[in-house]
Amino acid sequence: METLVAADSFFNMDCPETLSLEQHYSQTFLPSLGDVITTPVTQVTVSAEGIVGAVGQSQWQSLHTKKPAAQLQSKKRSRKPRHRRAESPTPDIIVKKNKYNKGGNTLYLWQFLMELLQDRQVCPRYIKWTNPHAGIFKLVNSKAVARLWGKHKNKPDMNYETMGRALRYYYQRGILNKVEGQRLVYQFTSLPKDMIYITDGDGSKEDEDDDDDNSGNEEDLSDETDDGTIASSDQSVEEEEDLQPPQKKSSSSIRALTTHRTRAAPRPLDQRDALLRPTSSSLIQEQHLPIVSAEMLRNLQNLQKIQSLQPTGHASVFKTAQLLGSLCERQAAAAVVMGSKGAQETPGKRSQQGQKSSQMEPPQLLSLISSDQ
DNA sequence: GATGGCCTAATTAGGACTTCCGGTGT
DNA sequence: CACACCGGAAGTCCTAATTAGGCCAT
């Protein structure tokens, strides 16, 4: 009532000092226009904790230690001491364990770039490593990368100018460095040790400094796309969102560096994609857990309840239940096999299979999910 | 009626950009 | 001239933490 009365009196008064009054009332009684109109939209997403998250310091290697992460001193508003919100999980920060991507769909720009660098559809087409050992990469098609980023952030006006500003903020935070004298070339200060490197060519060339072949690459891009324009990058955006199996690029090869994870034989593409997309497009989030809550998830982990579910009515829940049931069974079977082989596990670790699925190691869980599709 | 626990919506603080800009270098 | 690049400043968006208030049981 106070607000209404104040608003009413404000809008009806004929005061020569309207400005000061407006300021006064806007600060004391009147909500802002945005407050009135804006309807809070709550998106409930269920993420399997730990699947994405377990990125501890040990899984990162620093590529560049000359600059400590500058502390971004903030800000004017201070009221009372509160717990600080978790910052972007930069590789140098220790306390970031299990904070990776906390909060659902948040994907930071540097994470986005890392994903692109592990995505055959865009690497080396639009972004590529120029020196994977040093974490140096190049935005081969800066406009396309910016548009992909804008698409991800739902910012249709995103361009390289804007994205570049965000990249430059990473200098201060010690996440990125600029490679002097080379346009569109940046360097990650740290990389996850399980990074997968997609390089163009046969692998004999990627370590060379091929930054001068920009025009050549652009022409190659034009050859590979419909018309070599940004429109073709849009097509790529759609392809990426559809998560279709990546088109095989004959000139591409994937290899792990000797200093990083080694892999005897490359994983199947779909499985690798499951591992490489642990964030917003994570398979378990988008395809298997569309509407269930965490509480429901816990309940569903009881196999009796899972088996008693019927597909009618709640198809997606039923699907999730089936998935969880399958996971539990597979894990139980695996435990039996491991046990028979004298596995290294401590006794009783797998004693409660029905309640363990949520604690499964991320790669294991994801690979099971992937193969379950 | 007082109390405490639970739940939910609103508020607040702060991180991560986004937008704009003026400027420099290639 | 176009483009990449730089960094300041202000704004937006989103999320986590906190607070306030309602409901219910005891």
Q: Tens digit of pLDDT for each residue in A235-257?
A: 343 333 333 323 333 334 444 44
From the Cβ of A83, is strand C under 7 Å away? yes
Closest CA to A160 of A189, A133, A179, A186: A186
Number of domains in chain A: 1
Residue A124, preceding bond cis, omega within 30 degrees? yes
State residue A35's pLDDT score: 30
CA distance between the termini of chain A = 57
Closest CA to A121 of A232, A29, A258, A23: A232
CATH of the domain at A152: 1.10.10.10
CA(A340)–C1'(B15) in Å? 50
Q: Residue A116 above 60 pLDDT?
A: yes
Question: Quick count: other Cβ atoms within 10 Å of Cβ A300?
Answer: 21
Strand pairing class (A185-188; A176-178): antiparallel
CB-contacted nucleotides of strand B (7 Å): 10-21
From the Cβ of A82, is strand C under 7 Å away? yes
Which range marks the domain in which residue A157 is found?
109-188
Domain contains A149: yes
Q: Which residue is nearest to nucleotide B12 (CA to C1')?
A: A79
Domain contains A318: no
A87 neighbors A72 (Cβ within 8 angstroms): no
State residue A173's pLDDT score: 87
Domain contains A253: no
Domain contains A17: no
Q: Any idea which residue has 């028979």 for tokens?
A: A340
Q: How far is CA A50 from CA A34, A47, A326, A362, in A?
A: 37, 9, 19, 6
Confidence class for position A146, pLDDT limits 50, 70, 90: very high
Token pair listed for A316: 């997606």
Q: Helix, strand or coil for residue A118?
A: coil
Q: Which nucleotide is closest to the Cα of A111 by its C1'?
A: B16
Q: Which nucleotide is closest to the Cα of A85 by its C1'?
A: C16
3-state class percentages of chain A: helix first, strand second, coil last, to nearest 5: 45, 10, 45
Token pair listed for A85: 């919100």
A:32-61 Cβ neighbours of strand C under 7 Å: 43
Top mean pLDDT of A46-50, A104-108, A299-303 is at: A104-108
Q: Helix, strand or coil for residue A199?
A: strand
Domain contains A142: yes
- Phi then psi dihedrals of residue A163, to 5 deg: -65, -35
A43 neighbors A104 (Cβ within 8 angstroms): yes
State the pTM of this model: 0.48
Token pair listed for A161: 């100018």
From the Cβ of A248, is strand C under 7 Å away? no
From the Cβ of A183, is strand C under 7 Å away? yes
To the nearest 10°, report the CA torsion of A67, A175, A173, A66: 0
DSSP state of A95: G
Protein residues with Cβ atoms closer than 7 angstroms to any atom of nucleic acid strand B: A 31, 35, 40, 72, 74-75, 77-80, 82, 84-85, 87-88, 108-110, 149-150, 153, 155, 157-158, 161-163, 165-166, 169, 173
Domain contains A129: yes
State residue A113's pLDDT score: 92
Q: Which helix or strand (DSSP H or E) is residue A111 part of? A: helix A109-117
State residue A122's pLDDT score: 86
CB-contacted nucleotides of strand C (7 Å): 4-9, 14-19
CB-side exposure of A179: number of CA atoms within 13 Å? 19
Domain contains A122: yes
Confidence class for position A124, pLDDT limits 50, 70, 90: confident
Q: How far apart are CA A243 and CA A104, in angstroms?
A: 19
